[in-house]
Structure 1
Amino acid sequence: MASEKRTDATDLGVESNQDLRHLENVDIHDKSLNAGAMEATAQEHSVGFIQGFKTYRKAAMWSFLISMTVIMEGYDVTLLGSFYGYPSFREKYGKVINEENGYQISSTWQQRFNCLAAVANIVGALLNGWATARWGHRKVLIGSLFWLSAFIFVVFFAPNIQVLLVGQTLCNVPWGVFATTGPSYAAEVTPLAIRGYMTSYINLCWVIGQFISALVLKSLVNNPTHWGYKIPFALQWIWPIPLGLAAFFAPESPWFLVRQGRLEEAKHSLKRLSEPEHNINYDNAVALMVHTNKIEIEETAGVNIWDVFKGTNLRRTEVACMSFMSQITNGGALCYSGSFFFQQIGNGLPPNTSYAIALGGKGLAFICTIISWAFIHKIGRRRIWLYGFGTLACILWIVGFLALAPKQTLSLSWAQAILCVVWLGVYSASVGPIVYTIVAEIGSTRLRTQTVVLARSVYYTGNIIFGGVINPKMMAPDDWNLKGKAALFWSSLATVTFIWGYFRLPETKDRTFGEMDIMFHNRVSARKTAKYVIPEEDFNRTGDADPVIRDEKTATS
């Protein structure tokens, strides 16, 4: 997408009324196609942050609305994990472990819930990759919202923990769809100038959902009746209808329409996503999409999930998968368990206090996610991730060492709890939002949804292993009962992940999708991507030349 301020309507960028059929079967060497694509690329780079929001405020609005499905996912996914420390919920679905701990949800049942939820998330994500390639984001999203509305009934009326497990598993299928639809749609409908903000906004949606969940639980934690946990479940019915209406009226992704060969519809979608009075050259914008699509066709024969492992897509897939995986290996399963963890560390904090701290942590996360937008504007994706992830690893090491103290006092419990809240703030200002931006940008345009789907599936697989099996055993009073010492495991894992990021995570800030194609084709080192200059002759490459690594000092623009 591109916008420009020009006054000469004959040749200076206003919308053309010619049809786009001439672009359907052109060769990648076609001069008209290449000229339009290069002009659209230059236009994208010329649009600043403020102008981007003015010209594409409709795109930002639709991205804003569609990404709100992640608010629902953030609320729902964290709800059950927070219930593990909830008195009325434990009395209904748990059992007495011993006189000291009273009713508890055993580590075995925690593992079942976490593992089956992650498996269902993977199923949903894979279904989304297959279905979106055929029917687009809107139809798949509407169908998923209908699915969720139906199976919330199972959760709400569950008479025992077995039925609750079935209901939660079925609900996790559409949640897998929501987690992968938001980044893909945001990346495809917003221009370069605001793309980073709208993709990182997805993490803010996640935090908002968690904050609402924490607020509801804090207000009901002292309710001894079954409504103490039924009301939070019932609130899930608020979301599907308004979000379904938003998806129904939203424009489809123009990139999806170009991949389907529906160029006129793609042009119409661009009109709905922008302000026509800003003199947008829609033909050039479509030409850039067609040009990028044709480059990628030469590296992938058709579109299926296995294409993400072919050619340069293999490195893109590695970056996307490891980026999402870093949201597991950074200790999120420990720190995001919040209220339950606070009740286990040291001498333990009472339920009312632990849920209050958790609520404060979610509020801090909300503020820090907004602050992260200032970082995105000034700092590259790679630097934000490295600085943020390094800080998270250090915090985990401190929490772990505090837990090694021979005498665990209430002061040490508070110190570990506060450090977890600080962890949430740092995560929300850096790794949390920037990972969504990286994953949304890194995949090729033809395989973006498939790349996001696979990366999210790897995330869910990691969640099964670390969050679903290992962390419950480390934390449960009836199992390993490591308490704060579990942070030593997570700090070691985070350190290894940080080393990977230093050597393998590239910079994608201020790069169009076409420019990223060239950078990956030329196998530019991750540490050189920030300053790499794209050679002009590479813009017309066919994809069959030998890949060459060009030094930024000798490359010409």
Structure 2
Amino acid sequence: MAEPTKAPPAAAQVDEKGDISVQHYDNVDISNKALNEGAKQATAAEHNLTFLQAIKTYRRAAIWSVLISTTVIMEGYDVTLLGSFFGYPEFQKKYGYLTEKDGYQISANWMSNLNVIAAVGNIIGALLNGYLTAKFGHRIVLIASLALLTGFIFIVFFAQSIEIMFVGTLFCNIPWGVFATSGPAYAAEVAPLALRGYLTAYVNLCWCIGQFISAGVLKGLVDVPNKWSYKVPFAIQWVWPIPLAIFAYMAPESPWFLVRVGKLDEAKKSLMRLSQPEHDIDYDAHIALMVHTNKLEKEERKGVNYYDAFRGTNRRRTEIACMAFLPQITNGGALCYSGSFFFQQTGINASTSYGIALGGTGIAFVGTIISWFYLSRWGRRTIWFTGFSFLVVILFLIGVLASVPNQTKALAWGQSLLTVVWLGAYSMSVGPIVYTIVAEIGSTRLRTQTVVLARSTYYVGNIICGGLIQPRLLSPTFWDAKGKTAWFWFVLAFFTNVWGYYRLPETKDRTFEELDILFQKGVPAREFASYQIDRDEEFSQH
């Protein structure tokens, strides 16, 4: 997706409107000379395209990617909401029970049940997205999911018991699972190489925006002494679906999806909508690169289903994607992202707790933006490993402070503020870069399925750690470990960091075809950045 010298394709055809058609590429062999030449031109142009040139030429692609990824703002808002309600006074009165020592509390079992069923709904939605998107594309699946969510919100808004809240949580999380996996996949497929890292990392910013809005709403309503303190946050969810559905309807479909289903002329039209035609772009060469990449992957594995994600070189790619997302659980996020409830367990009052949580989400927002300044300078692997190492150290410090005998208010504030520091470090490194890694690492034919499997791994981890273990660790009615919970996460984070050092490859400045070649050659993870690909040799082999 860049600006190669324009040259008409060999054996070009003309469609019924008189435009030069690229549909004939679908019928040629991977060794076809015209196909290879076009792919080589487009690959060279991708590497030569600078950031400023990409913004000028592909600003439409950037805008559409940003708009589609905005669905993740809704997920960030919604997912944060329920966990934050566990420490919400009016929510506790409505759905909890009265204890002798700690007033109204949601039981540890129900906190676990709600967290687990939320993750189950996410998994169902993510898996459905991988299956349906392969058939219908991103746009139709997103619109249908938004329509369903509009209805499902009624269940949680009018829930009169925690059992009904349980059912509503399940149904609402199904479309949220779709949103979480559509944003990164769409961004990766419409963005040129020079913008790909920024637009995929933007997905994390959407999470931060959603969490910031959620924290602001919760902070503003925490002292309202009636049911509207928790009903209004639920009702705000109805603001999102209609404008987001309009964006999805108007957006161009992913050209990579259209290539995979054999609609090459439509893919070319989609590319034209994603760019500025007056920049004299060789769209035929771009389609040639996509077709060549698609055929290269089909030579190894023909399928586009979940089973194929565990065959051949896709097995290694799926492992990396899944392990890149799982650390969002093993890095201690279940502790630090449940900040308002954690703060209350250390002795800080409810209003102050939600104020600190609001400040933390603001820091996370700024941290993600800061990460963009070095995203193109440093590699994905470098950012991930450096950031994760900081998270390990912060968890260690929280554990140390929590283990000091005779806990004081100062120690409680120290632990709480360290979780805010954790949010800042996470949002400047691991948070945004994970979305870039997962969006880039899968093969083009299995991109959505790879993202889905990775995100589903995160959800399973969330069921075990965030749903079953974390509530019991923090709950005053169960283990009541308070800040000592950090020791559990420190151990998991340390071993995750070791995995990253040996297994996480560098994907920066590599086209999707080049990544295919590196994985097919079995290049070790630590050699991805320095490995030199002989372009002429690779094309001559096909």
CA distance in 2, matches of 1:541, 1:360: 56
- Amino acid paired to 2:71: T
Q: CA deviation at 1:542?
A: 5.7
- 1:240 aligns with 241
Alignment of 1:233-382 (within 5 A): 233-345=234-346, 348-382=347-381
> Matched residue of 1:301: which SS?
coil
CA distance in 1, matches of 2:479, 2:3: 59
- 2:446 aligns with 447
CA distance in 2, matches of 1:355, 1:130: 39
- Amino acid paired to 1:3: E
CA distance in 2, matches of 1:399, 1:243: 40
Contact 1:518-1:538 at 8 Å conserved across structures = no
> Matched residue of 1:96: which SS?
strand
- 1:70 aligns with 72
Alignment of 1:4-83 (within 5 A): 4=4, 17-83=19-85
Q: Is 1:198 aligned to residue 199 of structure 2?
A: yes
Evaluate the alpha carbon distance shift between residue 158 and residue 258 of structure 1 in structure 2; reply closer, same or farther with a 3 A threshold: same
The CA deviation string for residues 298-352 of structure 1, in whole angstroms up to 9 with x for no partner, is 111221110001111011001000000011100000000010001112xx10001
- Amino acid paired to 1:514: E
- 2:399 aligns with 400
- Amino acid paired to 2:168: G
- 1:221 aligns with 222
- 1:535 aligns with 534
- 1:525 aligns with 524
CA distance in 2, matches of 1:107, 1:21: 59
Q: CA deviation at 1:525?
A: 1.0
- Amino acid paired to 1:386: F
Q: CA RMSD in A?
A: 1.2
The CA deviation string for residues 35-57 of structure 1, in whole angstroms up to 9 with x for no partner, is 00010000000101111011000
- Amino acid paired to 2:156: V
Q: CA deviation at 1:189?
A: 0.5
- 1:553 aligns with none
The CA deviation string for residues 456-511 of structure 1, in whole angstroms up to 9 with x for no partner, is 11110010001100101101000000000000000000000000000000000000
> Matched residue of 1:103: which SS?
strand
Alignment of 1:170-189 (within 5 A): 170-189=171-190
Q: Is 1:118 aligned to residue 115 of structure 2?
A: no
> Matched residue of 2:528: which SS?
helix
- Amino acid paired to 2:318: T
> Matched residue of 2:104: which SS?
strand
CA distance in 2, matches of 1:429, 1:520: 28
Q: CA deviation at 1:9?
A: 7.7
CA distance in 1, matches of 2:148, 2:537: 46
Evaluate the alpha carbon distance shift between residue 538 and residue 344 of structure 1 in structure 2; reply closer, same or farther with a 3 A threshold: farther
CA distance in 1, matches of 2:8, 2:420: 58
> Matched residue of 1:24: which SS?
helix
CA distance in 1, matches of 2:532, 2:226: 64
- 1:554 aligns with none
- Amino acid paired to 1:286: I
Contact 1:216-1:232 at 8 Å conserved across structures = yes
Q: CA deviation at 1:536?
A: 2.0
Contact 2:2-2:54 at 8 Å conserved across structures = no
The CA deviation string for residues 218-238 of structure 1, in whole angstroms up to 9 with x for no partner, is 001100110000000000000
Contact 2:326-2:458 at 8 Å conserved across structures = yes
Q: CA deviation at 1:378?
A: 1.0
- Normalised by the length of structure 2, the TM-score is 0.97
The CA deviation string for residues 264-321 of structure 1, in whole angstroms up to 9 with x for no partner, is 0000000000000111000000000000000000111221110001111011001000
- 2:94 aligns with 92
CA distance in 2, matches of 1:31, 1:244: 42
Q: Which moved more, 1:75-84 or 1:520-529?
A: 520-529
- Amino acid paired to 2:488: F
Structure 1 spans left out of the alignment, 5+ residues:
544-557
The CA deviation string for residues 366-423 of structure 1, in whole angstroms up to 9 with x for no partner, is 0010001012021100000000000000000000011111110000000001100000
CA distance in 2, matches of 1:372, 1:291: 33
> Matched residue of 1:77: which SS?
helix
CA distance in 1, matches of 2:135, 2:232: 38
- 1:165 aligns with 166
Q: Is 1:2 aligned to residue 2 of structure 2?
A: yes
- Amino acid paired to 1:463: N
Evaluate the alpha carbon distance shift between residue 538 and residue 79 of structure 1 in structure 2; reply closer, same or farther with a 3 A threshold: farther
CA distance in 2, matches of 1:477, 1:74: 27
Contact 1:369-1:428 at 8 Å conserved across structures = yes
Contact 2:23-2:263 at 8 Å conserved across structures = no
> Matched residue of 2:509: which SS?
coil
> Matched residue of 1:360: which SS?
helix
Contact 2:309-2:318 at 8 Å conserved across structures = yes
Contact 2:7-2:282 at 8 Å conserved across structures = no
Contact 1:28-1:542 at 8 Å conserved across structures = no
The CA deviation string for residues 445-464 of structure 1, in whole angstroms up to 9 with x for no partner, is 00000100111111100100
Contact 1:295-1:542 at 8 Å conserved across structures = no
> Structure 1: which 4+ aligned runs deviate by more than 6 Å?
8-11
CA distance in 1, matches of 2:50, 2:111: 48
> Matched residue of 1:298: which SS?
helix
CA distance in 2, matches of 1:513, 1:374: 23
CA distance in 1, matches of 2:351, 2:433: 33
Q: Which moved more, 1:25-34 or 1:431-440?
A: 25-34
CA distance in 2, matches of 1:233, 1:18: 51
- Amino acid paired to 1:340: F
CA distance in 2, matches of 1:84, 1:371: 32
> Matched residue of 1:379: which SS?
coil
Contact 2:68-2:248 at 8 Å conserved across structures = yes
- Amino acid paired to 1:83: F
CA distance in 1, matches of 2:7, 2:498: 53
- Amino acid paired to 1:51: Q
CA distance in 2, matches of 1:398, 1:40: 49
Evaluate the alpha carbon distance shift between residue 145 and residue 500 of structure 1 in structure 2; reply closer, same or farther with a 3 A threshold: same
Q: Size of the alignment, in residue pairs? A: 534
- 1:457 aligns with 456
Structure 2 spans left out of the alignment, 5+ residues:
none
> Matched residue of 2:98: which SS?
strand
> Matched residue of 2:253: which SS?
coil
Evaluate the alpha carbon distance shift between residue 33 and residue 105 of structure 1 in structure 2; reply closer, same or farther with a 3 A threshold: same
Contact 1:123-1:173 at 8 Å conserved across structures = yes
Contact 1:444-1:517 at 8 Å conserved across structures = yes
- Amino acid paired to 1:113: L
Contact 1:334-1:341 at 8 Å conserved across structures = yes
- 1:504 aligns with 503
